[in-house]
Amino acid sequence: MPDADAATAGTVPTGRESFGSRLGQAMAGRGPLCVGIDPHPSLLRDWGLNDDAAGVERFSLTVLEAVGSLAAAVKPQVALYERHGSAGMAVLERTLAAAADAYVLTIADAKRGDIGSTMAAYADAWLRDGSPLAADAVTLSPYLGFESLRPALDLAAETGRGVFVLALTSNPEGASVQHVGGMDSVARRIVQAAAAENRRYAVSVPGNLGSVGLVVGATVGSALTDLDLDLAATFGPILAPGLGAQGATAAVLRRTFGPAYPQVLGTSSRDILAAGPHIRSLQDAARRTRDELLAT
């Protein structure tokens, strides 16, 4: 279809396949599942591992080995590495590198957001070529204003990486910010801004994914309808945490996201990770969740 912003559309640098394109291929080939790599102290204990950097590394690499061929992406929870200081961050660096070597897409769940040079530094850490923390995509918080994310948006486009912007979360406190404004809510403005960013790069064809995605909780219920949010029109991927342990099922995702369901990357962490430490058990749990997401 003709794109209203074609005259001002940006371009991804020659030779750089966009994150949205790579994620779309991974979702088509492996299924629309993202597995969180969340080394919670309780999970480490249940796996018989110490709550230290060595335990986190064993946990992370085991999850990656088990689900790498079954998930479109993996999502390390950055805070659970940070709590172990520099040793934990070194484990995260090695986990991201191992995923890249295995051709598994990574989403660093860092939820970064700031202004000016500080935001540029966050972008440099997570999205710059050659950074030891460079992931395929990073989660961002837009609550200092969507445009405050500009350094990350631009660097992601330049390097063929992606971002997932928090839009509508399922925690009870989220509504006190995200729902403000009713039909002109904060969440709606974030969704519209993400859509505009994807149009900037001429992503306006059904079936194509842009590289500016959104984080929308799998258990937000009727909020998408209540706030009149058209997620399908963003043409971006939707990271939907909450499968399994938080109560969402594949059927809930289909009902919640409706026409946007083909863009949804269903995310499960504890429900799959609890099946460890045995690789076969982790694979069975991931395969079961993936197949539920694929079922018609």
Percent of the chain predicted with pLDDT > 70: 92
Give the pLDDT score at 11: 40
- The two tokens of residue 91 are 């484990």
User: Cβ of 267: how many Cβ atoms within 10 Å?
Assistant: 30
Asked whether residue 114 is domain-assigned, the answer is yes
Contact call for residues 203 and 210 (beta carbons, < 8 A): yes
Catalytic positions are 111
Give the C-alpha separation, 172 to 282, whole Å.
30
Asked whether residue 21 is domain-assigned, the answer is yes
- Residue 40 per-residue DSSP state: -
pLDDT in tens, 28-48: 999 999 999 999 999 999 999
Give the C-alpha separation, 286 to 103, whole Å.
18
* 5, pLDDT greater than 70: no
Confidence band for 2, pLDDT divided at 50, 70 and 90 = very low
Contact call for residues 22 and 136 (beta carbons, < 8 A): yes
- Residue 136 CA: distances (Å) to CA of 48, 62, 282: 31, 20, 23
Q: In terms of residue numbers, what domain contains 241? A: 17-291
Of 109, 203, 88, 187, which Cα lies nearest the Cα of 142? 187
Give the up-direction half-sphere exposure of residue 262: CA atoms within 13 A in the CB hemisphere. Answer: 12
pLDDT in tens, 116-126: 999 999 999 99
Asked whether residue 6 is domain-assigned, the answer is no
Asked whether residue 86 is domain-assigned, the answer is yes
Of 199, 246, 184, 192, which Cα lies nearest the Cα of 214? 192
Give the C-alpha separation, 93 to 85, whole Å.
13
Domain with residue 131: its CATH number is: 3.20.20.70
Per the structure, the count of domains in the chain is 1
pLDDT in tens, 40-80: 999 999 999 999 999 999 999 999 999 999 999 999 999 99
Asked whether residue 12 is domain-assigned, the answer is no
Asked whether residue 41 is domain-assigned, the answer is yes
Asked whether residue 61 is domain-assigned, the answer is yes
Query: Looking at this protein, which amino acid is placed at residue 64?
Result: L
Q: Which residues contact 101 (CB under 8 A, 6 or more apart)?
A: none
Asked whether residue 214 is domain-assigned, the answer is yes
* 225, pLDDT greater than 60: yes
